[in-house]
């Protein structure tokens, strides 16, 4: 049995390698805040959220739509989905309580624990079947429809009757019946467990039924060697059955494990959705398009990690940057530029892993990779200068970036003088654009920004953090020409406006 709730044709791979720039993405986009909100303290939910979000860049359009439809089902039936997840968790925890004996090398020990564990699983499968019978009609997505159809087919009443009968037989209440042949040196070979005599026959039929020739012997109660030899004979007889039953148990455990893992992603999404709903934040299912297109349009897009940190509704932005490959963002200090940039990266990752996006509406092309190049604190070890460190990170990115990637710069190359920083930035951006890489660049380098503005490039757009005439920030990002000032005096006035000057 398979769950197939993350992909149509294969299991979700928790061992899949994450992007090489995993740590940079987590740091620059503050992804641990997102994962933590999805997990609510559950380590598995955290790990699955991290794996799903960061590996989502490899998803195609079909996979994104497939997961979106499943998530819509989950949001309509959240209590049922959480019940299924809890059931999978309970099944795995029940198996763990018997695991220590399953490692036994003795067939009788393996058989006993496999039988007891399978008895637990049968009870859980019955509960899963009851959920299927009662609620399957409420789900519409291909993923859940396929899952429930499989469960209805595999978990029939006949299946439970047969497996329960086998479990009773495997308790060997009337002893073990096995056959063997004599091999070289009269050693026993080809031990085979035999089906016990049909107990449904009446006592009269059993008395007169033809019996095979048989010989019996009795072991003295103090004959330890004889008892040990008889136990070994019994183990040889049940060895194949014990291994087969253990394999069946492993198969069911594997199903519950994968069901738990794949449902964990959607439970994490439900956790996040509930928190944002309480804040009054909008959410929507994005419209992804092919990577060859250049689409980026949204309404009321916000930084989901900032909302989760301050735990209240925050300012969103509307924008249409369709058919653009270069977006340069300038403007007032602390006007929301970096937050805007982070919202672009977060929404891209959330869209490509199949989640909803933090906006009233959102549409974008999928990208093959996502890279961030943010300014860093000074190197405490003094092994390199700040500019050297920036260029080194940029070199690593260039070695791994591909066409149709998304590149986010935040105050990059500002560690040197403006002319040198602007020239470095210009050359790097031109090279990226030649490879059809979409670039969002937040900068205070006026010479850099205005130099591109004067070129009137068809596929470029210039945005600015809005500032009111009184110096207040709206935290809105609007279209506008780069300005030569970032209004640093606003910060000075805000910090020192109430300072008392004492004349000497």
Q: What is the pLDDT along the chain (504 residues), one digit of tens a residue?
A: 788 999 999 999 999 889 999 999 999 999 999 999 999 999 999 999 999 999 999 999 999 999 999 999 999 999 999 999 999 999 888 766 655 444 556 666 666 676 777 788 888 999 999 999 999 999 999 999 999 999 999 888 888 787 777 666 666 656 555 666 666 766 666 656 666 655 555 655 655 566 666 655 566 667 566 556 555 555 555 566 666 667 778 888 899 999 999 999 999 999 999 999 999 999 999 999 999 999 999 999 999 999 999 999 999 999 999 999 999 999 988 889 999 999 999 999 999 999 999 999 999 999 999 999 998 876 555 466 789 999 999 999 999 999 999 999 999 998 889 999 999 999 999 999 999 999 999 999 999 999 999 999 999 999 999 988 777 888 999 999 998 765 555 545 555 555 544 333
Q: How far apart are CA 301 and CA 360, in angstroms?
A: 7
pLDDT at 101: 45
- pTM of the entire structure? 0.84
- Give the single-character DSSP code of 106: S
pLDDT at 347: 98
**Cβ atoms within 10 A of the Cβ of 162, count?**
11
Q: Which H helix or E strand runs over 81?
A: helix 78-96
- Give the single-character DSSP code of 58: G
Q: How far apart are CA 90 and CA 85, in angstroms?
A: 9
Residue ranges of domains in the chain: 59-171+251-278, 282-495
The CATH number that domain 282-495 falls under is 3.40.50.300
Q: How far apart are CA 320 and CA 297, in angstroms?
A: 4
- Give the single-character DSSP code of 148: H
pLDDT at 242: 64
Beta bridge partners of 370: 406
Rounding to the nearest 10 degrees, give the CA dihedral for residues 116, 120, 123, 125: -110
Q: How far apart are CA 353 and CA 391, in angstroms?
A: 30
Sign for the pseudo-dihedral over CA of 477, 480, 486, 489: negative
Q: Which H helix or E strand runs over 454?
A: helix 446-454
pLDDT at 250: 83
Q: How far apart are CA 343 and CA 56, in angstroms?
A: 17
Q: How far apart are CA 225 and CA 356, in angstroms?
A: 68
């Amino acid at each position: 049995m398979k769950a197939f709730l993350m992909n149509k044709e294969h299991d979700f791979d928790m061992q899949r390698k994450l992007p090489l720039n995993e740590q940079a993405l987590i740091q620059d986009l503050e992804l641990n805040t997102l994962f933590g909100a999805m997990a609510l303290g559950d380590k598995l939910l955290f790990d699955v959220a991290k794996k799903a979000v960061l590996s989502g860049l490899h998803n195609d359009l079909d996979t994104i739509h497939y997961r979106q439809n499943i998530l819509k089902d989950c949001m309509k039936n959240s209590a049922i989905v959480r019940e299924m997840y809890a059931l999978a968790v309970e099944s795995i925890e029940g198996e763990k309580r018997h695991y220590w004996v399953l490692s036994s090398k003795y067939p009788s020990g393996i058989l006993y624990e496999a039988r007891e564990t399978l008895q637990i699983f049968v009870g859980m499968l019955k509960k899963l079947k009851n959920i299927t019978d009662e609620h399957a009609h409420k789900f519409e997505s291909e993923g859940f429809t396929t899952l429930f159809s499989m469960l209805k087919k595999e978990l029939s009443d006949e299946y439970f009757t047969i497996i329960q009968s086998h479990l009773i037989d495997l308790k060997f209440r009337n002893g073990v019946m096995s056959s063997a042949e004599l091999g070289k040196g009269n050693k026993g070979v080809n031990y085979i467990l035999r089906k016990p005599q049909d107990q449904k026959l009446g006592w009269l039929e059993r008395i007169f039924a033809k019996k095979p020739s048989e010989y019996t012997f009795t072991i003295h109660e103090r004959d330890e060697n004889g008892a040990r030899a008889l136990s070994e004979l019994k183990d040889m007889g049940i060895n194949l059955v014990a291994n087969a039953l253990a394999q069946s148990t492993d198969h069911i455990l594997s199903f519950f494990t994968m069901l738990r893992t794949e449902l964990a992603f959607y439970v994490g999404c439900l956790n996040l959705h509930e928190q944002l709903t309480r804040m009054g934040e909008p959410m929507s299912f994005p419209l992804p398009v092919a990577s060859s297109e250049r689409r980026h349009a949204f309404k009321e897009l916000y930084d989901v990690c900032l909302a989760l940190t301050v735990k209240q509704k925050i300012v969103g932005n509307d924008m249409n940057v369709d058919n653009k490959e270069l977006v340069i963002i300038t403007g007032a200090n602390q006007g929301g530029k970096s937050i805007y940039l982070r919202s672009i990266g977060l929404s891209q990752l959330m869209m490509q892993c199949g989640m909803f996006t933090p906006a009233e509406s959102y549409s974008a092309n999928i990208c093959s990779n996502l890279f961030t190049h943010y300014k860093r604190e000074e190197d405490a070890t003094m092994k390199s200068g700040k500019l050297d460190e920036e260029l080194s990170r940029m070199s690593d990115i260039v070695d791994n970036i591909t066409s149709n990637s998304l590149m986010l710069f935040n105050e990059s190359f500002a560690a040197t003088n403006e002319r040198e920083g602007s020239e470095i930035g210009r050359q790097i951006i031109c090279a990226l654009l030649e490879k059809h890489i979409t670039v969002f660049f937040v900068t205070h380098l006026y010479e850099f920004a205005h130099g591109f503005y004067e070129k009137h490039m068809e596929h470029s757009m210039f945005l600015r953090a809005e500032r009111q005439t009184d110096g207040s920030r709206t935290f809105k990002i609007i279209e506008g020409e780069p300005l030569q000032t970032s209004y640093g005096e606003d910060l000075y006035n805000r910090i020192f406006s109430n300072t008392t000057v004492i004349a000497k």
